[in-house]
Amino acid sequence: MAIGRPGDPGDPDPPAILIDIGGGLAPDHLPAAGAEWGDRRGIPQHTFLAALFAGNDDQVLIGRMGQEAWWRIVRRRLGADSGLMTELRRDLAARRRWDADLVAGVRALRGRARTVLVSNAWPEMRPALAASGMLDVVAGTVLSCEVGCAKPDPRIYASALRRAGVADPARALFVDDTAGHVRTALALGMAGHLHIDTGGTLAQIEEFVRAVGAG
């Protein structure tokens, strides 16, 4: 679903693509994990996911609390022993998959646009990106746990623009699977695209890069 439009084609800045990780380049694996682990623990999916994430937005997600300290909170919530927590964390990491077509499309932008990952993420995301080779696909990465703010805080968008080397926000396309995050990008003067399916997102990125790059 396209939202917004490209900026002034006369601007010298290169086109920039600011794209989300979870729910975008990496399809959301948490609902299935929550259902399976909830069944295993005898609790509803939403209760299990709340045990993992409730309250983390102003803690580990923005770097105010270390990840290991947060996992100790999760362990207490679940009443789990260390062995089960190790298994849980390994399982969650193993479930992460990359959208091969979307990754290939982003890789093909090299030389035509600057792509920056913008993600509300825990510290474990950067080593996961390194291990997968994703850091070699993009021009930069902005993670909430490293910059101290999370979407939809305007500061994380500003950090991504700086990382892309783009002064004019109208020459950036922001791609995310959360409508509120896209609305913030629009309010800050960027173009925006709500990610629903890979084909639609790739088409919108190509349209944007062609229009802005033509200038």
pLDDT digits (tens, 9 = 90+) for 89-135: 999 999 999 999 999 999 999 999 999 999 999 999 999 999 999 99
Q: 161 with 174: CB under 8 angstroms?
A: no
Instruction: Give the pLDDT mean for 26-35.
Output: 96
Q: Are 211 and 6 in contact (CB under 8 A)?
A: yes
Res 5: pLDDT = 43
Topology, domain 16-27+98-214: Rossmann fold (3.40.50)
Instruction: Output the pLDDT for position 98.
Output: 97
pLDDT at 8 over 60: no
Percent of the chain scored above 90 by pLDDT? Answer: 92
Q: Quick check: 7 pLDDT over 80?
A: no
d(CA 16, CA 27): 22
Sketch the domain layout of the chain as residue ranges: 16-27+98-214, 29-95
CB contact at 8 A, 193 and 174 = yes
Q: Give the separation between CA 185 and CA 169, rounded to whole angstroms.
A: 9
pLDDT of 174-195, one tens digit each?
Answer: 999 999 999 999 999 999 999 9
Average pLDDT over the chain, rounded to an integer: 93
What percent of the chain is helix, strand and coil (3-state, nearest 5)?
55, 15, 35
- pLDDT confidence band for 215 (50 / 70 / 90): low
Phi, psi of 138 (to 5 degrees): -120, 170
Cβ atoms of 17 and 115 closer than 8 Å: yes
CA dihedral of residues 163, 168, 174, 178 (deg, nearest 10):
100
**pLDDT confidence of residue 12:** 61
